[in-house]
Structure 1
Amino acid sequence: MADPIRFIDVAEVRARLDHATCIALMRSAMIALAEGRSRQLLRGIIDLDGGDLFGVMPGALDGAGFGAKIISIFPAVAAHGSSHQGVIILFDRASGAPVCVIDASEVTAIRTAAASAAATDALARPGASRLAIMGTGEQAWHHVAAIRHVRALDEVRIWGRAPEKAGELADRIVRDFGLAAQAAASVADAASGADIICTLTGAAEPFLFDAHVADGTHINAVGSSRAGPSEIDEVLVARARFVPDHREGVLAQGAEYLRARDAGLVTEAHVLPEIGHVFSGSTPGRLTASDVTIYKSLGSIVQDLACATWLWKTHRDRVSGA
């Protein structure tokens, strides 16, 4: 008789899946993706009225079963909670049976930031200490929480279209992490002197431009997860070493790359081998201290499956040992 399907809610995810643990999970998952030890389809996205989205992400990861994330993205809900709401369904590779259903909102928040932190560790200069956060939504806090594990941060600057939210987030970062943090009056002010920049907005058009970014900066481009909306201008994309999370996905759905390509500034060859190859050491990331590097994050189901499997197995072990 099959075991009952476990359900892991948002509170349990938040209590058990810490950022440091998730960074290690993301490294392993992205190496597996780059080396062909996983399979995933391009995400399916349905545009709903009013800018809302519905997405389905199926895949399989060696050692972690197979499954799918089914998720809605309702930007207006972000003021009251997570804009990403849904479930991850995990199946057992041996039996084919569904074994676990996990609330996807907190997993998505943690694993997205942890993947950026892993990329930052691989691509940012070793002494990078000044972090600029562009955006004040859920991902902003999580990116600080994750990146502090891979770089010793001296300063965090936060820019958002609502200055009061940027100020509130800066105060929270001071309280939660003991880091020096302040709101910035403009994108240029936030980016000035930054070693690491994270773009985490729902912007439809670029707001971070080439002139804002100094040599040697690392950028995590996270906010746009489909073709269309873009946070970074085409000239900056062309200037940078452009590293994708999943190359096939970025070539098809990475808005920043697609805009630069359509402007005639880059070709497909500009998109470097995947971040998993950088993690494994099979391809270089940063070549010189003056390089600008961009990690383009679309998000991959293998990241969710790695988290889901870890949560399920540790949940099962806890229950079995009770």
Structure 2
Amino acid sequence: MLVISQKEVVELLSMEGCIDAMEAVLADLATGQAMQSLRQMLPLAEGNLLGLMPGYLRRDGLAGAKLITISPGNHSRGLPSHQGVVTLFDASSGVIKAIMDGQKITAIRTAAVSAAATRHLARADAEVLAILGTGEQAASHLEAMLQVRELRQVRIWGRTPSKAAAWQAEMSSRFSVEITVCATVREAVAGADIICAVTAATEPVLLREWVKPGAHINAVGACRPTDRELDSELVAQSRLYVDSVESAAGESGDYLIPLAEGAIPQDHIVGEIGAVFSGQLTGRATDSEITLFKSLGLAVEDLAAAQYIYNKALRLQRGTEIAF
């Protein structure tokens, strides 16, 4: 069994490679070549969660799971909110092939999926990006968006101005793009072509009246039926795609709350983003419509990222082999 550390995960999983891997595995999910079960979430103390996410990559003969904790209060402790491990098994023999850090896989693959969705749904001339939130996903989403669009300006908003300023300084040292700190969400998204909502919000922070026609939105932060980042009017007036219809119907407050309010019909979801990647479903229809991708995170995404890392580790002789 190969054990791959967090440092090695970061070194082996490039954003560019991960975007392509996410597009491929979600297309496989849409065509039945990848399978997964709905994640199981066990509530813990202080509003924390323990999650189990199993999946199967039929084409590659691999199965596995991510075991993850979600602790929203960790931001105040200086710790990441998502931590865990990903395991890979040979689907035929059941032999454990690898175990690796799941925190960085989650950070990178989540942004990579948003980037793949943006590549297919955002306007080709999109050049202004707004990021709502200043955590780990904000940084990875900036890196990912720069892979799929030529950005002229980036705007960042966070609840704590000092954190937003520190984020701006760090990202400006890493990327050659203009980054501006905004005092309000409204200021950040005014005229933005792409909006990435990666907050820990439980109530809407992004309203329809602030979003321009033709914008594309990646809604990433809220992952429970009671939590949402977007108001009902914005969801109702957007062309909505999801990573998994089953997951959205069971877990997404951004979909379930407007549905319960009667603001949207049950069939408001256009379809799964993987069906767009596979050519089974069309993406953006007009330059003026608002497109929305609601991301919850899927087991097959973790397994595809883990497979990419494992194969690269074998080629480069990385990781630590142990008897198990």
Give yes or no for TM over 0.5: yes
Partner of 2:191: 193
**Structure 1 counterpart of 2:40, from 29, 44, 47:** 44
Q: 1:175-220: per-residue Cα shift (whole Å, max 9, x none)?
A: 1011100110101000101000011011110110111111000000
**Pairing partner for 2:8 from 7, 12, 15:** 12
- Tell me which amino acid in the other structure corresponds to 1:130: V
Q: Distance in 1 between matches of 2:25 and 2:191?
A: 32
Match of 2:286 among 277, 288, 308: 288
Which residue does 2:177 correspond to in 1? 179
Aligned position for 2:322 = none
* Aligned partners of 2:30 and 2:278 also within 8 Å: no
Give CA deviations for 1:105-147 in whole Å, capped at 9, x if unaligned: 0000000000000000100000101000000000001000011
Identity %: 42
1:27-69 CA-partner distances (Å, limit 9, x unpaired)? 0011011111111111111121212111110111123401110
Q: CA deviation at 1:317?
A: 2.5
Letter in 2 for 1:128: A
Measure the CA separation in 2 of the matches of 1:17 and 1:319. Answer: 15
Q: 1:28 maps to which residue?
A: 24
Q: Which residue of 1 aligns with 2:257?
A: 259
SS in 2 for 1:211: helix
CA distance in 2, matches of 1:188, 1:77: 27
8 Å contact kept, 2:23–2:274: yes
Instruction: Return the offset for 1:226.
Output: 2.2
In 1, the alpha carbon distance for the partners of 2:259 and 2:80 equals 33
Question: TM-score when scaled to structure 1?
Answer: 0.96
Secondary structure (helix, strand or coil) at the match of 2:177 reads coil
Q: Which residue of 2 aligns with 1:135?
A: 133
Higher RCO (CA 8 Å, separation ≥ 6 residues): 2
Distance in structure 1 (CA, Å) of the matches to 2:139 and 2:309: 22
Partner of 2:96: 98
Partner of 2:271: 273
3-state SS in 2 of match to 1:260: helix
Does the CA-based 8 Å contact 1:251-1:268 persist in structure 2?
no
Post-superposition offset of 1:269:
1.0
SS in 2 for 1:258: helix
Choose which of 126, 136, 143 in structure 1 pairs with 2:124: 126
Verify: 1:74 aligned to 2:79, yes or no.
no
- Greater mean alpha carbon deviation, residues 307-316 or residues 117-126: 307-316
Which residue of the partner structure matches residue 168 of structure 2? 170
Give structure 1 regions of 4+ aligned residues with deviation exceeding 3 angstroms. Answer: none
- Output the amino acid matched with 2:9: V
On the 8 A contact 1:26/1:115 being kept in 2, the answer is yes
Which one-letter code corresponds to 1:72 in the other structure?
Answer: T
The answer to whether the Cα contact below 8 Å between 1:44 and 1:57 also exists between their aligned partners in 2 is yes
- The reply on whether 1:63 has 2:22 as its aligned counterpart is no
Q: CA shift at 1:319, angstroms?
A: 2.4
Aligned to 1:236: 234
Q: Which runs of 5+ in 2 are unaligned?
A: 319-324
Counterpart mapping for 1:138-153 below 5 A:
138-153=136-151
Could you state the TM-score of these two structures normalised by the residue count of structure 2?
Answer: 0.95
* Maintained 8 Å contact 1:171/1:182: no
SS at match of 1:182: strand
Deviation of residue 17 (structure 1)?
Answer: 0.6
1: CA distance, partners of 2:35 / 2:191 = 40
The residue aligned with 1:87 is: 85
SS at match of 2:148: coil
For structure 1, the 5+ residue unaligned runs are none
- Between the aligned partners of 2:224 and 2:21, the Cα distance in structure 1 is 24
Q: CA RMSD in A?
A: 1.1
